[in-house]
Amino acid sequence: MGWFFDETINEWLQNAIPWSEWPFKIITFFGDPIIYIVLLAMAFWTYKKKDAIIAIYVLLTTSFLNFFLKVLIKKPRPAISDNMIKVEGFSTPSGHAQSSTTMYGWIMFHFKKIWLYIVIPILILLICISRVFLGVHFIGDVIIGFLIGVAVLAALYFSIPLLINWMDKWPNWVKIIVGEGYGLAVFFITFFTGLFVEWPPGDAENSAKIVAALMIFPVFFWFEARYIKMDNNNLKWYSKLLRIITGLAFLSGVYFGLSALFDLFATTNYALDYLYDFIRYTIVYSVIGLLMPVLFKKIKFFTHKKEQTIVEDEVAIV
């Protein structure tokens, strides 16, 4: 089993298919967290909000588990000379392999389309291979990540419907407290561990990113449902398209603008950097959960509805 965490497989792949560097750089991007953020934001703005929120918590759960396992195992990434992309953080299990298996698998089982049952397994496989080819993971990392992703997907797919039915009976304030409790638990587990363990910068940012989402989304989603009430039902195609274009433009501007701004304040102080990342992602998530819903609610061309044909029953007169 020496090959499981050996750089030989990485080097063999790079030598066997040297022309694959750019295709794999594109493919690996589909396993990046920003892709899931974009997909889930689009779903929240144009699809069923409840289903989008559930998918967001699926992503947060598998992301936290991956992060926790990485900092527990603390295995460095491959040390081969030809790492084709720059990646920070620990190696095992592969976050791309685990998250893509969980998230794309969740999408596949949610929509239950034949073409998805073909395309998504191929996409997950290619993402896993890309991490090995690009030299940022051992083959063992992606196998473990894939298996954990399958386990998380199965556990959540069968347990979430039961949990939702149970939680639907709770008052809103209880749901918010439980959501905040989940976020606080993750914060205590991750932040205080980081005070005593030297993490790579990428893992510290991942912790703040997850905690920010868990802490603010319960309040944001409640506030949106109670006061903003963005209507996604029966939208015309161009209203959906305009929501996506406008939302992604705002999101991209805020995300990259804040990244550049907070890079100016980067320090070697773990607690300060954690706070900066927490604030940065809180603002990004507020664009998704509050700012864009207000905009889509207030401006009419974002809410044009399909015409509904009402068929009247014919009454026979005798």
How far apart are alpha carbons 148 and 244 in whole angstroms?
Answer: 32
Report the pLDDT value the prediction gives residue 83, as an integer from 0 to 100.
59
Peptide bond into 93 cis (omega under 30): yes
User: What digits encode the pLDDT tens for the residues 82-137?
Assistant: 556 777 777 788 989 999 999 999 999 999 999 999 999 999 999 999 988 888 88
DSSP code of residue 171: -
Q: Which of 148, 135, 174, 159 is nearest to 62 (CA)?
A: 148
| Sequence-ordered list of residues with C-beta below 8 angstroms from that of 226, at least 6 positions apart, any chain | 172
The residues near 185 (Cβ < 8 Å, ≥ 6 apart) are none
Query: Distance of CA 71 to CAs 138, 190, 197, 256, Å?
Result: 17, 9, 9, 27
Q: What is the pLDDT of residue 275?
A: 85
Q: Quickly list H helices, the chain.
A: 8-16, 21-29, 33-46, 49-73, 95-111, 114-133, 139-167, 172-196, 201-223, 237-263, 270-286, 292-298
Model confidence band, residue 2 (pLDDT cutoffs 50, 70, 90): low
Distance CA 285, CA 262 (A): 16
Which positions ≥6 away from 22 have C-beta within 8 Å? Answer: none
User: Which pLDDT tens digit goes with each residue over 135-189?
Assistant: 888 888 999 999 999 999 999 999 999 988 888 888 888 989 998 998 898 888 8
Which residues make Cβ contacts (< 8 Å) with residue 229, sequence separation at least 6? Answer: 297
Task: Kindly report the number of other CB atoms within 10 A of residue 71's CB atom.
Answer: 21
Q: What is the rounded distance in angstroms from the CA atom of residue 138 to the CA atom of residue 4? A: 7
pLDDT of residue 198: 67
The rounded distance, in Å, linking the Cα atoms of 182 and 14 is 42
The residue among 262, 239, 257, 250 whose CA lies nearest residue 290 is 250
Confidence category of residue 200, pLDDT binned at 50, 70, 90:
low
Q: Is a pLDDT exceeding 90 seen at residue 210?
A: no
